[in-house]
Structure 1
Amino acid sequence: MQVGQISAKHFGVSVLALGISLGVAPRLYAQAPNAVGDNPGSQVSSSEVSEIIVTAQKRSENLQRVPVSVAVATASQLTNSGVTDVQSLKMVAPGVEVQSNNGYAYPIIRGVASKGSGAGFESPIAFYVDGVYYANATANILSFNNVSQIEVLKGPQGTLFGRNATGGLIQVTTRDPRSTFGGDVSLSYGNYKTFKGTLYLTGGLSQNLSADLAVQGTAMGDGYGTNLFNGKDVYKIQHDISARSKWLWNAGPATQLRFIADYTDTRNSMNAQRIPLGGTAAPPFGPSYGGSEWDVDGDTMPLVTVKTGGVSLRVDHDFDAVQFASTSAYRKTDFTFDNESDFTRTRGRVFGEDQNDWQFSQEVQLLSPKTSRLKWVVGAYYFKAGSRYPRFILSNFGVAATAFSSSSTLSNQNTDSISGFAQATAEILSGLSLTAGLRYTHEKRELTDASTTTVALNGTATVVAPGDQSLLFKKLTWRLAMDYQVTSDVLAYISYNRGFKSGGFNASALTLPPFEPEVLDAYETGLKTTFLDRHVRLNVAGYYYDYKNVQAQRSVNGSTGIYNGAAAEIYGFDGQLQTQISSKLSLDFGYQFAHGKYKQFPGALIAAPSAAGGYTLTPGDASGNTTLLTPKHSLSAVVNYTVPFSEGKLGFNASYYYNSGFFQDPDDVLRQPSYSLINSSVRWTSPGDRYSISIWGNNLTNKAVTNLYSVNSQGGIRGVARANYAAPRTYGATLGLKF
């Protein structure tokens, strides 16, 4: 049987399972109201699941009317579930994972991901804040403050959004300022002597002008772990300070302007890495060591510093016959990190990097009037960016610390991209609508001032300078979708989307050739339903991805390079069930099944355990292996229960997340085992919601979950496994005031 036939069969099974879940779930839930009603003294509340407005199609629409798979987390859901940064999103959005390495964010949606990091690299998962694309992965490990809601769009975004993305996008929307004075302040203290404060102020400056200011700061007195070499703390936030201000000017009855400025300064050792417990070091750097997962044993202290900020201006005007929107933005990021590269106390390999990034983007949209039966949008997007290495150095020391070699790389990677797009939705029959969209992208990549200087142990210097180079990519992408409003509470849809991510240069591994664009064709069918008098919302989708020319990453003598050569297929289904059983009790569930395989992957980097310690790295065939970072099953469950009484109300929250485990690299050697996470909180709120006290705990079972787990090249064919871990058990209390 051919691969295409197998894929179609599997896709059909996924859709059938989706249908079964729709048929069974309502009947299972239908017993819940009766059970509540049978309890003496209780009554069934008329409360409904709240309406959610999204901008997945560049206009404000009810989530249940949009034929796109979207996971949404509101501000209250994020707070109740202990989600304070982008890496915790999986607690409320199953199928979404954000890992990190040395300060770079690695988002994963439905098994589409990249662990590539460096100057000019962009993720296949696009990241937006208030409509502005953040190209730099070092600026995307955000702590949330002043968030209104977060939308996760699953599948390729090759039509409406600024940068093409093969896997999806994460879109953060912050609150708009109000004309009346108000705000809130909170102060938290937790274990590891963790202090966090937030402040939000808003008010009117004139009749038509309002503004706000959101500030947050975090500092830790103790780290999660210790550097056994010198007794100093690691996994410690020295400071994380951010400020964001939005100004809203109602310039006329049909005109609004939003100006936003933000800045973040963070310094931490969250990039700490170690040889995993039970692992072995690569010779000749010495034996492995014990301690906890959060302990390291290196002669160089890990450190990450990020200073990032930007400004943007959004202009909206309604011309009656057409709506106009313009978003202009500029951002700048300075990033540096230093770390061990042999992960032992032996003076072996030390790595350091400085990376400077800037970007400018301009988007213009024309949209159909709000009352138009034909919904359309036409626009253009321009993006220009530069990313450079003023310092990228790997130092190798001999065992006796008398011999020395180094490799130093300087380079710049520039991007100049312009695209035009259009999408329209028309009701062709009663309740039946057709959506069609196109996007054409013209993108140029340049590598300039690039050189690598290698100094051998005998002092001989070798310089690799490839000269200035450029690449040009031209690509047409699209979206086709059909949806049918079965009833006022049931929407069925089917879609076909193509997304692409442009190629580029390996700015930190100049011996590797440029990499080509990757393309993903996505076929999806789904249902969006609301039932039981709007007490229940169930949205499900089945999908099949045909993933070509996958941009895979590999470790090359301490740096990360990207190369093509893989073709993959990923299929599965996911869904979210949200219930409002009564005004006091809500239950939310999310589930994703994903099956990903490399159909072809010759020339992959394969790691094999070495009898002498560490791993041997050689080219091999990864065809048939599981796609990296793709758990077969992931599940989330959130329960919220509120108890009102004369002195206010108590809110109880419990959040659960399960992941069946996944392989970290295409060679299927290192695997994150299955794991579960539990967060919980109890919150008292005074009458009128003015004062609040919260007691909270995250990762209550103290599970060690890897942020990074991969084989790092030690030069030649030698390699060693390294690991970095997400936060252990944390707990504390928060005092809040609203005014």
Structure 2
Amino acid sequence: MRKLQFACLASALSLAATSAYAQDASEAPTDGDIVVTANRTSSLLSKTPIAMTAVGGDDLIASGITNPTQLEESVPNLSIVRGNGLQITIRGVTSTDGTEKGDPSAAFMVNGVYLARPQAQEVSFFDIERVEVLRGPQGTLYGRNSTAGVVNILTVQPKFEFGARADVSYGNFNALNGTAVINVPAGETIAFRVAANIDQRDSYLIDGAPNDGVTLNKFKDNKSVRLSALFKPTPDLSLLLVGDYSKVKGNPTNGVPTTQFYSNITSGGRQNFSAPTYLGADPDVARTLSRTQAQQAFRNNEEKGVMGELNYTLGNVTLTYLGSYRESERKEFSNAANGAFSADFAGKYWQTSQEVRLAYGGDGPLQAQIGGYYFKEKSGIAFFLNNLLGANTRFGFPQDPTIAENKSVFGQATYEIVPDLKITGGVRYSHDLKSRVGNTVVDYYDSIGTSYSIGNFIRRQINQNNDAKRTFSRVTWRAGVDYDTSLGLIFASVSTGYKAGGFNDGCEIGKGANCALPAEALYYDPETLTAYEAGFKFRFSPAFRLNGTIFHYDYAGLQLSQLSDICGGPCQVTTNAAKAKVDGVELDAQIQPSDRLTVRLALNWLDARYDEYAPAYNDTSVTPNVRRSVNFAGRALNRSPKWSWVAGANYVLPVGEGRIVFDAQTAARSRYEVTDLANFAYFYQPAATKTDVSVTYRAPEDRFYFAAFAENLENNLVVTGASTGLFGAVTFADPRTYGVRAGVKF
């Protein structure tokens, strides 16, 4: 019911491999505590020495959180925005390469299974047990691409009792989200659970060109179903099987011209960092897309997969196997340059992952686990822009196949050297292979209107071959100490993270036809991060909890991506920045002066900045052109506000045997940068607040509820992305929304 689980906000470190059968894990959660699996085994959140937030499924429903982008107010120093898929930023660490060759910096997982493609990550939150967000590098237990942290969605497992529930919400923008769940036991050893969800809404954009024959709605029209089966013949043996299918449809148009948010935009290489003027226009004006659209845009994607988790316990040893296979199919017609050019994308992806872990636990001082992991992803895609390079041309990127493969082994152990004082150490070895075969091409036709009306093919011009292959290996590790005092947990750690390098479009000189790039321009190196962290999770009394974390990052080889025209047209180019530093403090408190009133407070300070970074550019203002550089040292990393805070209150009013719950919360962020590195344009989002309120009636024993809600009362359009040039656009977070929701369970 609470918007934030502040009892879950705390930080620090430790690879504590607390076994699911250790003493702490067997304790029943009390007073808002929760069981989490941050260490890949079960432990109480209050006893888990890791910087993390856990939000329970009931809290997600009560707060109206139906997708990952809405987690920002619940997790310190987190930003999740829509770009080419989800872009996750944790404590200033992020990735902007959403192409088939790119990797995120935060690992996004469902039931512990890594989802590689950002486009597959905006899953609807339905029938969720909890969401766990781990802040800081998780390179030992989670491995690949967890430099920023981990977001893990855990669905509800089947239960050995009959049950059902339904939840529905409806709001402005014709937003409809409905979930139906039924749980059926089939004897004493097997149970089944089926959950289905519909998630729809209109676009947040206002159609300012209603006569162009193109509609912007619906932005989202998703339908999903999940079938789970749990087989538990003995207390020591269990097998969980989950299959899911989603049809993801809608209109992907989500940006407006940059000039609707900013004026006096200066771009191009220069030594100063002059910012544009933020217009602060009326929200209805700012989100109006008046440009005529080249074609009707649509999204028609499929996501499906199966996973299985086997757990077998023999004495103090537990064997876990986690395997999965997933397929994605994408078909999207869109518009580029705010509607000037039509575009189309088709892609097929599959991925598989296999993990085996062996955990040792019990009542003794030692908790340990070892494991091995294998992951492989393969895709074939084709992206084309129509008439960009002249009439009746299709400029595009047919790439098939693109392959990523990871093999890892890992181990960690926690030892209680004296009562309540534990030390932890862990290490992981990762080997990554990445390869791609493809082209950058210009196809000529006798006529091209839009993606719907393409004439007869004439010829193909290959601008360059996009053939590359690289391998990377790295050892990551973690060490920590924690002490369980009478007030609560104190902890400290040093941990490392690693994200594999990769390659840009093109191929290396001398390795084939149309290969014109030197190795230093084609390839980019891994990024690495070393985090130093300390924190506490204190409970001064049942009415007062206080958690805190302080951290410092040494961040090297940042992989920065932007659009470039070096391919003869727009393409994604990734380079390594030299170094960055990140410092921060996270504090949160929960105060409960009475059984009816709960107050939530959080304050975060973040200083995420470039330490050494001097990208080069051609100065065309002189003849001949001169190669110069811009010094970014000291500049803030993108989407990294220096200050953020949350204040909220929850009041319960008994009504008969039921109750009315009043909830209000304001979240605020200071100004932060959204730099367009490709054009050296320095956009920013001014300081802003977001206030959410709700009133809920809950029947006795929570048999049913109904509520009214309003979010972003200020109607602030918070900038989530900004760029200039031909393809320049601004994207923004949700405007003011309001509606009703209701649910019933039995």
TM-score bracket for the superposition, by shorter chain length:
0.7 to 0.9
Deviations 1:554-603 (A, max 9, x none): 11243322111331111111122223333322222223211111111122
Partners of 1:465 and 1:342 lie apart in 2 by: 24
In the TM superposition, what is the alpha-carbon distance from 1:265 to its structure 2 partner? 1.3
1:725 and 2:732 are equivalent in the alignment: yes
Superposition pairs for residues 314-463 of structure 1, below 5 Å?
A: 314-343=309-338, 348-389=340-381, 391-397=382-388, 403-411=391-399, 412-448=401-437, 450-454=438-442, 462-463=461-462
1:86 and 2:86 are equivalent in the alignment: no
1:621 and 2:631 are equivalent in the alignment: yes
CA pair 200-280 structure 1, distance change in 2 beyond 3 A: same
CA pair 410-368 structure 1, distance change in 2 beyond 3 A: same
Partners of 2:540 and 2:721 lie apart in 1 by: 42
CA contact (8 A) 2:53 2:132 kept: yes
CA pair 684-604 structure 1, distance change in 2 beyond 3 A: farther
User: Match of 2:130?
Assistant: 149
Partners of 2:500 and 2:126 lie apart in 1 by: 32
Deviations 1:372-392 (A, max 9, x none): 320111000100111221x21
Partners of 1:607 and 1:250 lie apart in 2 by: 68
> What runs of 5+ residues in structure 1 fail to find an aligned partner?
1-17, 20-46, 283-287, 611-616, 715-719
1:472 and 2:482 are equivalent in the alignment: no
Other structure's SS at 2:607 match: strand
Partners of 2:498 and 2:706 lie apart in 1 by: 47
Partners of 1:424 and 1:55 lie apart in 2 by: 16
CA pair 129-507 structure 1, distance change in 2 beyond 3 A: farther
User: Match of 2:648?
Assistant: 638
In the TM superposition, what is the alpha-carbon distance from 1:318 to its structure 2 partner? 0.3
CA pair 728-164 structure 1, distance change in 2 beyond 3 A: closer
Partners of 1:430 and 1:604 lie apart in 2 by: 56
User: Match of 1:73?
Assistant: 55
Other structure's SS at 1:721 match: coil
1:653 and 2:659 are equivalent in the alignment: no
User: Match of 1:226?
Assistant: 207
1:239 and 2:239 are equivalent in the alignment: no
In the TM superposition, what is the alpha-carbon distance from 1:174 to its structure 2 partner? 1.4
CA pair 336-656 structure 1, distance change in 2 beyond 3 A: farther
Partners of 1:48 and 1:427 lie apart in 2 by: 24
Other structure's SS at 1:292 match: helix
CA contact (8 A) 2:69 2:80 kept: yes
Other structure's SS at 1:67 match: coil
In the TM superposition, what is the alpha-carbon distance from 1:426 to its structure 2 partner? 0.7
**One-letter amino acid matched to 2:743:** G
Other structure's SS at 1:438 match: strand
Superposition pairs for residues 275-314 of structure 1, below 5 Å?
A: 275-276=257-258, 277=260, 279=262, 292-296=285-289, 297-300=291-294, 301-314=296-309
Partners of 1:187 and 1:580 lie apart in 2 by: 30
User: Match of 1:503?
Assistant: 501
User: Match of 2:77?
Assistant: 95
User: Match of 1:208?
Assistant: 189
In the TM superposition, what is the alpha-carbon distance from 1:337 to its structure 2 partner? 3.2
CA contact (8 A) 1:271 1:724 kept: no
Other structure's SS at 2:337 match: coil
CA contact (8 A) 1:362 1:382 kept: yes
Deviations 1:278-322 (A, max 9, x none): 55799xxxxx99963332223234433331121000000101141
TM value normalised by structure 1: 0.84
1:706 and 2:713 are equivalent in the alignment: no
CA pair 673-405 structure 1, distance change in 2 beyond 3 A: farther
CA pair 177-339 structure 1, distance change in 2 beyond 3 A: same
TM value normalised by structure 2: 0.84
Partners of 1:353 and 1:117 lie apart in 2 by: 13
Partners of 1:105 and 1:223 lie apart in 2 by: 17
CA pair 636-269 structure 1, distance change in 2 beyond 3 A: farther
CA contact (8 A) 1:236 1:270 kept: no
In the TM superposition, what is the alpha-carbon distance from 1:241 to its structure 2 partner? 0.9
1:561 and 2:573 are equivalent in the alignment: yes
Partners of 1:501 and 1:483 lie apart in 2 by: 27
In the TM superposition, what is the alpha-carbon distance from 1:701 to its structure 2 partner? 1.9
**One-letter amino acid matched to 2:522:** P
Other structure's SS at 1:207 match: coil
**Cα-Cα RMSD:** 3.0
1:678 and 2:691 are equivalent in the alignment: yes
Deviations 1:497-551 (A, max 9, x none): 111000123359997612211000111111111112x222222111111110110
Deviations 1:30-71 (A, max 9, x none): xxxxxxxxxxxxxxxxx9732222211122112222221111
In the TM superposition, what is the alpha-carbon distance from 1:233 to its structure 2 partner? 4.2
1:526 and 2:521 are equivalent in the alignment: no
In the TM superposition, what is the alpha-carbon distance from 1:457 to its structure 2 partner? 12
Other structure's SS at 1:89 match: helix
CA pair 660-223 structure 1, distance change in 2 beyond 3 A: closer
**One-letter amino acid matched to 2:162:** F
CA contact (8 A) 1:652 1:682 kept: yes
1:517 and 2:526 are equivalent in the alignment: yes
Partners of 1:514 and 1:227 lie apart in 2 by: 43
1:169 and 2:183 are equivalent in the alignment: no
1:687 and 2:700 are equivalent in the alignment: yes
CA contact (8 A) 1:577 1:589 kept: yes
Aligned residues: 667
Question: 237, 251, 256: which is aligned to 1:274?
Answer: 256
User: Match of 1:129?
Assistant: 110
In the TM superposition, what is the alpha-carbon distance from 1:417 to its structure 2 partner? 1.0
**One-letter amino acid matched to 2:717:** A
In the TM superposition, what is the alpha-carbon distance from 1:164 to its structure 2 partner? 4.2
CA pair 441-275 structure 1, distance change in 2 beyond 3 A: same
CA pair 507-253 structure 1, distance change in 2 beyond 3 A: farther
- When structure 1 is superposed on structure 2, of 565-574 and 499-508 the one drifting more is 499-508
User: Match of 2:560?
Assistant: 552
Partners of 2:242 and 2:31 lie apart in 1 by: 32
Deviations 1:365-406 (A, max 9, x none): 0001233320111000100111221x21123458xxx83543
User: Match of 1:582?
Assistant: 594
Identity of aligned residues (%): 26
Partners of 1:153 and 1:238 lie apart in 2 by: 28
Partners of 1:85 and 1:518 lie apart in 2 by: 29
CA contact (8 A) 2:68 2:123 kept: yes
Partners of 1:618 and 1:146 lie apart in 2 by: 54
Partners of 1:55 and 1:702 lie apart in 2 by: 37
User: Match of 1:572?
Assistant: 584
User: Match of 1:3?
Assistant: none
1:120 and 2:101 are equivalent in the alignment: yes
CA pair 421-505 structure 1, distance change in 2 beyond 3 A: same
1:539 and 2:547 are equivalent in the alignment: yes
Partners of 1:419 and 1:280 lie apart in 2 by: 49
Partners of 2:602 and 2:245 lie apart in 1 by: 34
**One-letter amino acid matched to 2:311:** D
Partners of 1:562 and 1:407 lie apart in 2 by: 20
**One-letter amino acid matched to 1:486:** T
Question: 47, 53, 61: which is aligned to 2:35?
Answer: 53
CA contact (8 A) 1:95 1:591 kept: no
Partners of 1:521 and 1:238 lie apart in 2 by: 39
Partners of 1:607 and 1:248 lie apart in 2 by: 64
CA pair 202-436 structure 1, distance change in 2 beyond 3 A: same
CA pair 425-221 structure 1, distance change in 2 beyond 3 A: closer
Deviations 1:644-677 (A, max 9, x none): 1215211111122111131112556011222111
In the TM superposition, what is the alpha-carbon distance from 1:455 to its structure 2 partner? 5.6
